[in-house]
Amino acid sequence: MKIIVDRQVCAGHALCAAKAPDVYQLDEEGYCCSNGATVPPHLHEQARLGARHCPEAAILLVDDEDAP
Amino acid sequence: MSSPVPVHVPPDRVVEFDRFTSPVLQRCPHRGVADLFKNSPDIFYTTGDRGHWVVASATLARDMLRQTDKFSSDPVHNPANARKPPTLPNQADPPLHTELRRIINPFFSPAGVQKLEHSVRQLAGELIDEVIGRGHCEFLRELAQRFPVQLFMRMTNAPMEDREMLVAKVDRFTRAPDIQQRLAALGELGDYLKGMIAERERTPGDDLVSLAIHGTVHGRGLTDDEKLGMVNLLFLGGLDTVAAMLSFIMAYLGQHPAQYQRLVSDPELIGNAIEELMRVHGVAGMERGVTADMDYAGLSFKAKDRLVFLPHVYGLDEALVDDPFRVDFDRPISSHLVFGSGPHRCVGSHLARLEMKVFIEEWVRRIPAFSVAAEGDLPTRGGLVWSPVAVPLEWPVADTVADPLAGQDQGAAA
């Protein structure tokens, strides 16, 4: 699973990192900087939880075979 | 104050509502305005407060707040919201907005505010311990207007003796129904802050004001107006919003003892509970100006049309949340727009969440049961930020535990 974050849309709510701290990292300004990161299988559920909480719907999770 | 309906507004889109004076704001404003929105067009026009559109749909609000090129924060496109001094960066559009935000973002990031947790917890405990032995307090004045405000005064290194004077000015700017009174209060605050800025320019410190005024945008220093605008907004945001929100939340918990008991028996729930209670008790709004004549969502806007957003009640929109009036600490997601949406998301959101969570943790530790010492619904006030008028609370002193951490190693929790 791969994380795609739309940095134009991310507004720094930081709920992704609050709900899924093992998956999403924040930059110095508090915006999600996990674009392109690969999620190991045991963290897939946490990654989905964090993505669902994004109020801007800025996070897309793609399966490895669909990854660009 | 009423104003004429512009000719481009369809008559079936006009709804009477004044965000400062409508009677619906004087008790249970969230329920009242959510009901009004449910029975109104998605976007309606009111002649109140000099005339403006009101976006009643959470879904449209979210869409519009993202489109800064169409719906601008710059008063050039919304002359009715021009302020002297300005407030920044909320009255700027990208790219200037982005640059101004960068100056203060690291301070207010989740990692930035985490550094403050120890002092937040200490102050919360001290203030609660001051009133705990008497078994009652007026929460708004005795705790809510002191806890976040004193923390803010420390962050900005402002003189603590000016606290009440500043809170009063911000209150007037936020809630006086007459625009001239609001602007006068803002002018007075601006004059005060000019003195503070001059002082920090001479002797910069490691405080938030020094940080804000010494930033750069596009490789240049800030203009005097930009410096004042930045500091101005910090004070407007820091002195009122958390006080109002925390007061609404404590009033709710005092009126719903079974919900409060859940937090006492399982403090791990407090984070979720705050998110859910914020959802139903939004406090602050914002506005935008239309940048050019355009059709949007079945309406024809004219350039410089004024749009008012009320995130106070967007969390009560059925399109956003199922069964929105049910307060449920176990909701998987408490969707709301209390901190706004899009690039102008409230910069203080992480600090606000931390302050409220820590405060309620410290309250729960000490006071196992409390109630609101008044019958019926509490009086409230509208304005730019909604607030209870007063929140009288009482509790049985015999059950309380003042300073429950005394004697323990507090460093272990830090």
What is the per-residue burial (b if ≥16 Cβ within 10 Å, else e) of B325-335? eebebebebbb
Average model confidence (pLDDT) across chain B: 95
Cβ of A30 and B111 within 8 Å?
Answer: yes
Average model confidence (pLDDT) across chain A: 95
Residue B145 sits in a domain whose CATH number is 1.10.630.10
Nearest CA in chain A to B114: A30
Per-residue pLDDT, B408: 58
Number of domains in chain B: 1
With an 8 Å Cβ cutoff, is A48 touching chain B?
A: no
Q: Give the pLDDT confidence of B83-139 residue by residue, as tens digits.
A: 999 999 999 999 999 999 999 999 999 999 999 999 999 999 999 999 999 999 999
Domain range for residue B77?
11-413
Query: Does the pLDDT of residue B240 top 70, yes or no?
Result: yes
Per-residue pLDDT, B411: 46
Q: Are B287 and B78 in contact (CB under 8 A)?
A: yes
Query: Does the pLDDT of residue B403 top 90, yes or no?
Result: no
Per-residue pLDDT, B3: 83
In a domain, B4, yes or no: no
Cβ of B109 and A17 within 8 Å?
Answer: no
Per-residue pLDDT, A64: 76
Query: Does the pLDDT of residue B406 top 90, yes or no?
Result: no
CA B186 to chain centre: 17
Give the distance from residue A50's alpha carbon to the nearest chain B alpha carbon, in angstroms: 11
What's the pLDDT band for B142 if we cut at 50, 70, 90? Answer: very high
Cβ of B110 and A30 within 8 Å?
Answer: yes
Q: What is the 3-state secondary structure (H, E, C) of chain B?
A: CCCCCCCCCCHHHECCCCCCCCHHHHECHHHHHHHHHHCCCCEEEECCCCCEEEECCHHHHHHHHHCCCCEECCHHHCHHHCCCCCCCCCCCCCCHHHHHHHHHHHHHCHHHHHCCHHHHHHHHHHHHHHHHCCCEEEHHHHHHCCHHHHHHHHHHCCCHHHHHHHHHHHHHHHHCCCHHHHHHHHHHHHHHHHHHHHHHHHCCCCCHHHHHHCCEECCEECCHHHHHHHHHHHHHHHCCHHHHHHHHHHHHHHHCHHHHHHHHHCHHHHHHHHHHHHHCCCCECEEEEECCCEEECCEEECCCCEEEECCCCHHHCCCCCCCCCCCCCCCCCCCCCCCCCHHHCCCCHHHHHHHHHHHHHHHHHHCCCCEECCCCCCEEECCCECEECCCEEECCHHHCCCCCCCCCCHHHHC
Per-residue pLDDT, B137: 98
Q: End-to-end CA distance of chain B, in Å?
A: 52
Q: Are A40 and A26 in contact (CB under 8 A)?
A: no
Ordered mean pLDDT values, 10 residues apiece, chain A (68 residues): 96 97 98 97 98 97 74
Query: Does the pLDDT of residue B305 top 50, yes or no?
Result: yes
The β-bridge relationship of strands B380-381 and A2-5 is: unpaired
Per-residue pLDDT, B221: 97
Residue A19 sits in a domain whose CATH number is 3.30.70.20
In a domain, B2, yes or no: no
Q: Give the pLDDT confidence of B45-96 residue by residue, as tens digits.
A: 999 999 999 999 999 999 999 999 999 999 999 999 999 999 999 999 999 9
Q: Flag whether the pTM goes above 0.80.
A: yes
Residue to mutate among B345, B346, B351, B357, with most A CBs inside 10 A, is B345
Q: Are B259 and B288 in contact (CB under 8 A)?
A: no
Cβ of B105 and A53 within 8 Å?
Answer: no
A29 chain-B contacts, CB cut-off 8 A: 101-102, 105-106, 109
Cβ of B108 and A13 within 8 Å?
Answer: no
Domain range for residue A31?
2-66
Number of domains in chain A: 1
What's the pLDDT band for B413 if we cut at 50, 70, 90? Answer: very low
Q: What percent of chain B has pLDDT over 90?
A: 94
Q: Give the pLDDT confidence of B156-213 residue by residue, as tens digits.
A: 999 999 999 999 999 999 999 999 999 999 999 999 999 999 999 999 999 999 999 9
Q: Give the pLDDT confidence of B310-337 residue by residue, as tens digits.
A: 999 999 999 999 999 999 999 999 999 9
Per-residue pLDDT, A67: 52
